[in-house]
């Protein structure tokens, strides 16, 4: 799954280009950098690869979300609807702009349930933020329809689905803005980094300034730049951008390998009648970073996970229901609104209220789900062995369950 698996001379070459100039900052120093602009080059490559008009590189996927929210005008008191299954950065970014994260249940797509989104809308709702988890997409037709009906912003968190698409459009380019993460375990890595993508010029201009202390970047002298608004430092370095520039050239190969391995593993697991698979609104657009599968009950799923652990084959298989990072059930720090800085009492109360609601519909999905990360370097023999070991464990547990029933 992650691009770091294929580190090669291509990344070293791009990084060395930067090191030879000694100019590690993406802005300024026009003369000494000798025409080396890795961040600009990567932004152009992102626009060309994913079909968006604008791309603004930042220091992380979290910074990308925060920037995108600020750029589209989300702020204090606004409500942002997001799924109960995501990464903690999603709600952290909402809080960073003073908005309220409102969680909605997921369905068997492992993303926002459109009916749950409708039920979560209030007079304070400003944005719907689908999170395209584990390589695949939300039901974007349904969510776009809801946003149009209620005049809401649509912000895509596509950090886990680089290269995925929905009906011919790349994930992250469908809404008002979209984001990728380029951290160490993403399909494309910069080691650390992220990007805001948009087809709206105003959102791009806001993102460009917001990530660099509000600089308008209209001249060649940073000291003479105007600051139309307050910004922060979310800049990516030339070194990180250089890594990403090499990686993006490999994306098609990454996706091809993932799809091949994903298909092979799915075919092996499909031999077990009790296994079902994640519903994907557009199967042709799955980036195939994970194969997500379901067992009939939480009890059986837990037993399979325990047996996989006992046989030392759990690595790369994720039971999100017990995960501290990705599912709301374990987010006690959010439910208790534990922050180092004081939140406004109204915001704190709203956060605690929305994070502590009933998510039994999500539990019914996540308690039965395991996601298997798809490796880029698996040999055919390794893939065959992995699939056989997983199938054997599952059949063993199912047989035991029937015996004890």
pLDDT digit string (tens) for 203-229? 999 999 999 999 999 988 888 899 999
Q: Which two tokens stand for residue 122?
A: 């209030």
Instruction: For 309-351, write each residue's pLDDT tens digit.
Output: 999 999 999 999 999 999 999 999 999 999 999 999 999 999 9
User: Which pTM value belongs to this model?
Assistant: 0.96
Percent of the chain residues topping a pLDDT of 90: 96
pLDDT tens per residue, range 229-253: 999 999 999 999 999 999 999 999 9
What is residue 404's predicted lDDT score, i.e. its pLDDT? 65
Quick one: pLDDT at residue 220?
A: 81
Sheet holding 369-373, edge to edge: 276-277, 290-294, 369-373, 317-318
Question: Rounded to 5, what percent of the chain is helix, strand, coil?
Answer: 45, 15, 40
Closest CA to 197 of 217, 172, 221: 172
Q: What is the pLDDT of residue 402?
A: 77
Catalytic: which of 186, 348, 384, 396? 186
Q: Are 56 and 67 in contact (CB under 8 A)?
A: yes
- pLDDT band per the 50, 70, 90 thresholds, residue 305: very high
Report how far apart the first and last C-alpha atoms of the chain are (Å, whole number).
38
Q: 186-196: string of b/e by CB count within 10 Å (b at 16+)?
A: bbbbbbbbbbb
pLDDT in the model for residue 168: 97
State residue 401's pLDDT score: 84
Query: pLDDT (tens digit, 9 = 90+) per residue, 64-120?
Result: 999 999 999 999 999 999 999 999 999 999 999 999 999 999 999 999 999 999 999
Only one residue has tokens 């802005």, namely 27
Average model confidence (pLDDT) across the chain: 96
Reduced to 3 states (helix: H, G, I; strand: E, B; else coil), residue 267 is: helix
**All domains of the chain in start order, with CATH:** 3-251 (3.40.640.10), 252-326+361-404 (3.90.1150.10)
- For the question of residue 167 being annotated catalytic, the response is no
Query: How confident is residue 2, by pLDDT bands cut at 50, 70 and 90?
Result: confident
Residue 3 has a pLDDT of 80
């Amino acid at each position: 799954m992650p691009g770091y698996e294929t580190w090669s001379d291509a990344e070293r070459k791009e990084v060395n280009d930067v090191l030879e100039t000694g100019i590690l900052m993406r802005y300024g120093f026009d003369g000494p950098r000798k025409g080396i602009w890795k961040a600009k080059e990567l932004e152009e490559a992102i626009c060309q690869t994913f079909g968006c008009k604008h791309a603004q590189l930042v220091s992380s996927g979290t910074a990308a979300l925060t920037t995108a929210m600020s750029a589209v005008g989300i702020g204090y008191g606004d409500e942002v609807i997001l799924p109960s299954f995501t990464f903690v950065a999603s709600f952290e970014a909402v809080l960073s702009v003073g908005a309220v994260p409102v969680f909605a249940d997921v369905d068997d797509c492992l993303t926002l349930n459109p009916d749950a989104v409708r039920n979560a809308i209030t007079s304070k709702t400003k944005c719907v933020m689908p999170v395209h988890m584990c390589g695949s997409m939300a039901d974007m037709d349904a969510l776009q329809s809801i946003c149009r009906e209620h005049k809401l912003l649509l912000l895509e968190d596509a950090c886990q689905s680089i290269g995925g698409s929905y009906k011919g459009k790349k994930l992250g380019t469908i809404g008002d803005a979209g984001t990728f993460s380029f951290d160490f375990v993403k399909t494309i890595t910069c080691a650390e980094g992220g990007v805001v993508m948009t087809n709206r010029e105003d959102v791009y201009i806001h993102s460009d300034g917001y990530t660099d202390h509000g600089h308008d970047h209209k001249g060649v002298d940073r000291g003479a730049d105007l600051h139309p608004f307050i910004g922060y430092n979310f800049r990516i370095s030339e070194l990180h951008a250089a890594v990403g520039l090499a990686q993006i050239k490999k994306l098609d190969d990454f996706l091809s390998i993932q799809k091949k391995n994903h298909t092979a593993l799915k075919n092996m697991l499909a031999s077990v009648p009790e296994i079902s698979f994640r519903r994907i609104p557009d199967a042709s657009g799955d980036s195939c970073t994970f194969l997500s599968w379901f067992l009939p009950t939480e009890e059986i799923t837990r037993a399979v996970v325990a047996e996989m652990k006992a046989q030392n084959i759990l690595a790369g298989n994720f039971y999100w229901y017990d995960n501290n990072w990705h599912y709301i059930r374990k987010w006690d720090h959010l439910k208790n609104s534990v922050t180092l800085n004081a939140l406004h009492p109204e915001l704190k109360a709203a956060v605690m209220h929305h994070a502590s609601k009933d998510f039994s519909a999500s539990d019914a999905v996540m308690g039965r789900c395991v996601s298997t990360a798809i490796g880029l370097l698996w040999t055919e023999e390794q893939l065959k062995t992995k699939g056989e070991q997983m199938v054997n464990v599952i059949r063993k547990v199912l047989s035991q369950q029937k015996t004890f029933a």
